[in-house]
């Protein structure tokens, strides 16, 4: 992927790439750390249809949303030959009983036989998290298990 | 004691009035600069309600306003950005200089203001307002556009050109001969080169000198350093403003960011005072005779700025609509045109009408600039339809 980095003198930097559909998609990073997501117009790629200011937390959440499915697809491909095993991404909503507690506290493995193979946070995957891994709202848990177990795991994460 | 009371009341009324005007300006989507000028005109000699008793404070505050304007301009850019900006925009920058300085100079010569007046007016019509332009681009959500770096590079070029131009102007205003002018050019070029080298290689040390974790200490050091450097520069006939600008460039990194944050409100306060003082010192009755010239200049230099932006954007392979946007974005003139006119008038080496013409011109351009940036897209689309009628 060809990401173009353009300095904006006095303001910050623009980083963007051209999507297959011909739109420029990117991020403006201001000197003071503020971020803005930009999407160019379809008919005039020089100009933007939207520039959306994002807080650090919001951009991390967006990155997680965009980054997690890829990891899940990869895992699914690896596990395709093993029948009965499913890979899913489960969100940990802010305000969940486990927001701020460790992975061990959920006792997911014991209660549902589901394994957490990675936690995606802020666009970065933390693979094979240990039981002392502290969860926080907005995390995406990449899990492997039976369809049944995964259904139970969703409940556990939501209601404790 | 009584005098102090009256001065405080007047000053309070002026600040409060400016606050109201500023709010009004942003609400209707224009820059507050023309309204501040109008405010000054209304309270000055020959205006509606002449104010006395705050002259001394106001003129010193205005001086500080100029120093802060230029200091923050310098803080905005790192030396790296200046160098790359120069490299990227030099051709468009030169075209910008020629196209936009010539109309001002020509009008000054036609009005018989002599070569010094011509050089001052050239500066007034040449320099775009980076303050207004950055604000408008942000408001219109165009910072992500592909033509925006082109616009910003031209602004960087202009600001560097100012650093060379202001000392020359100061030398000429002081009555120096051609030889003296050339010496001033040489000296200022050498000084700027030295400062750029220092900023590129040793910016850390300059920053360390003023930096402090205590906001109070930091503010005092930065402001103190700026006034000291500006004063010394002014004593050496290099112009206080340039001294402040170069200090701003030499301060870099996080120190520069923190300084900007601390100084921004101060700059806004003192710069507003500067515009008011300029208005105060301009007699409104001198404006009508030069109004025709101001309108003509506004018309011509709008077209020349659009041409500049069009050319610069085309060089970077940007489409027609983007070229039009880049051109319209550059139209606004403001703070620095008034800084130049203020220097010229304060030195007393040019006609008083120059202040009147500059005021009228900036009044027009500070309003026209944001409007042009806003309406350029529909206008360009309309023109396109007219020029390429659909086959019936």
Residue of B nearest to A39 (CA): B144
Q: Does the pLDDT of residue B392 top 60, yes or no?
A: no
Tell me how many domains chain B contains: 1
Q: Answer whether A32 touches B (CB < 8 Å).
A: yes
Q: Answer whether A31 touches B (CB < 8 Å).
A: yes
Question: Tell me: domain A59-159, CATH 3.30.70.1450, correct?
Answer: yes
Residues B232-260: what's their mean pLDDT? 82
Spatial distance between the Cα atoms of B198 and B229, rounded to a whole number of angstroms: 15
What is the domain range of residue B372?
60-382
Residues B177-188: what's their mean pLDDT? 73
- B85 vs A contacts (CB less than 8 Å): 9
Q: What is the pLDDT of residues B346-355, one digit of tens each?
A: 888 788 889 9
Q: What is the pLDDT of residues B356-387, one digit of tens each?
A: 999 999 999 999 999 999 999 888 888 888 87
How far apart are the CA of B41 and the nearest CA of chain A, in angstroms? Answer: 33
Domain parsing of chain A, residue ranges? 4-54, 59-159
Residue A8 per-residue DSSP state: E
Task: Check: CB of residue B329 under 8 Å from CB of residue B309.
Answer: yes
- The CATH number for B144's domain is 1.20.1530.20
The segment with the largest mean pLDDT, out of A5-9, A22-26, B188-192, B323-327, is B323-327
Residue B25 included in any domain = no
pLDDT confidence band for B45 (50 / 70 / 90): low
Residues B59-86: what's their mean pLDDT? 85
pLDDT confidence band for B127 (50 / 70 / 90): very high
Q: Answer whether A72 touches B (CB < 8 Å).
A: no
pLDDT of residue B324: 94
Residue of A nearest to B321 (CA): A44
pLDDT of residue A100: 87
Q: Does the pLDDT of residue B177 top 80, yes or no?
A: no
Picking from A6, A14, A47, the nearest residue to B321 by CB comes out as: A47
Residue B276 included in any domain = yes
Interface with B, mutate which of A40, A41, A47, A51 (most B CBs under 10 A): A47
pLDDT of residue B46: 65
Residue with tokens 């007393």: B348
- Give the number of other CB atoms < 10 A from CB of residue B343: 21
- B84 vs A contacts (CB less than 8 Å): 7, 9
By the 10 Å C-beta count (0-12 exposed, 13-18 middle, 19+ buried), B254 is classed as: exposed
Residues B57-66: what's their mean pLDDT? 88
Q: Answer whether A46 touches B (CB < 8 Å).
A: yes
Residue B288 included in any domain = yes
Residue B26 included in any domain = no
Residue B32 included in any domain = no
Residues B49-74: what's their mean pLDDT? 83
- B325 vs A contacts (CB less than 8 Å): 46-47
pLDDT confidence band for B48 (50 / 70 / 90): low
- In chain B, residues 149-188 whose CB comes closer than 8 Å to chain A: 149, 152-153, 155-156
Residue B241 included in any domain = yes
Residue B3 included in any domain = no
Residue B226 included in any domain = yes
pLDDT confidence band for B128 (50 / 70 / 90): very high
The ipTM assigned to this model is 0.73
Spatial distance between the Cα atoms of A150 and A135, rounded to a whole number of angstroms: 18
């Amino acid at each position: 992927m060809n990401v173009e980095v353009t300095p904006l003198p006095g303001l910050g930097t623009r980083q963007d790439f051209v999507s297959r559909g011909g739109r420029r998609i990117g991020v403006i990073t201001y000197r003071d750390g503020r971020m803005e997501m930009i999407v160019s117009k379809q008919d005039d790629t020089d100009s933007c249809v939207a520039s959306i200011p994002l807080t650090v937390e919001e951009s991390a959440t967006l990155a997680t949303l965009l980054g997690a499915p890829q990891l899940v697809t990869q895992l699914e491909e690896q596990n395709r030959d093993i029948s009965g095993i499913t890979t899913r991404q489960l969100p940990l909503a802010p305000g969940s009983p486990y927001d701020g507690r460790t992975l061990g506290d959920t006792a997911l493995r014991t209660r549902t036989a589901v394994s957490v193979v990675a936690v995606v946070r802020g666009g970065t995957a933390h693979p094979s998290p240990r039981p002392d891994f502290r969860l926080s709202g907005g995390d995406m848990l990449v899990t492997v298990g039976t369809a049944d177990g995964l259904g139970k795991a969703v409940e556990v994460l939501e209601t404790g | 004691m009584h005098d102090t009371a009256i001065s405080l009341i007047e000053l309070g009324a002026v600040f409060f009035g400016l606050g109201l005007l500023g709010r009004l300006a942003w609400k209707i989507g224009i820059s507050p600069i023309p309204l501040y000028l109008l405010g000054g005109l209304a309270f000055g000699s020959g205006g509606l309600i002449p104010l006395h008793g705050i002259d001394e404070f106001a003129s010193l505050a205005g001086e500080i306003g100029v120093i802060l304007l230029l200091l923050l301009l310098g803080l905005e850019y790192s030396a790296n950005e200046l160098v790359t900006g120069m490299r990227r925009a030099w051709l468009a920058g030169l075209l910008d200089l020629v196209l936009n300085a010539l109309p001002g100079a020509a009008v000054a010569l036609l009005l018989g203001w002599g070569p010094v007046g011509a050089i001052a007016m050239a500066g007034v019509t040449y320099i775009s307002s980076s303050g207004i332009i950055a604000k408008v681009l942000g408001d219109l959500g165009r910072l992500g556009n592909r033509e925006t770096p082109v616009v910003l590079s031209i602004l960087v070029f202009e600001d560097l050109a100012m650093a060379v131009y202001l000392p020359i102007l100061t030398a000429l205003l002081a009555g120096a001969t051609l030889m003296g002018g050339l010496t001033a050019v040489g000296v200022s070029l050498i000084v700027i080169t030295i400062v750029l080298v220092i900023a590129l290689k040793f910016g850390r040390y300059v920053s360390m000198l003023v930096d402090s974790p205590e906001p109070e200490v930091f503010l005092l050091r930065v402001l103190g350093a700026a006034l000291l450097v500006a004063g010394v520069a002014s004593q050496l006939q290099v112009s206080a403003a340039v001294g402040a600008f170069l200090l701003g460039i030499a301060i870099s990194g996080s120190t520069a960011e923190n300084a900007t944050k601390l100084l921004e409100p101060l700059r806004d306060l003192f710069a507003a005072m500067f515009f008011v003082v300029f208005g105060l010192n301009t007699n409104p009755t001198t404006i009508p005779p030069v109004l025709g010239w101001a309108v003509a200049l506004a018309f011509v230099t709008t077209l020349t700025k659009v041409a500049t932006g069009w050319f610069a954007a085309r060089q970077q392979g940007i489409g027609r609509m983007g070229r039009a946007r880049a051109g319209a974005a550059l139209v606004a003139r403001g703070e620095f045109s008034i800084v130049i006119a203020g220097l010229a008038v304060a030195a007393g080496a040019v006609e008083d009408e120059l202040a009147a013409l500059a005021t009228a011109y900036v009044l027009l351009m500070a309003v026209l600039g944001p409007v042009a940036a806003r309406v350029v897209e529909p206008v360009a689309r309309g023109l396109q339809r007219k020029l390429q009628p659909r086959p019936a």
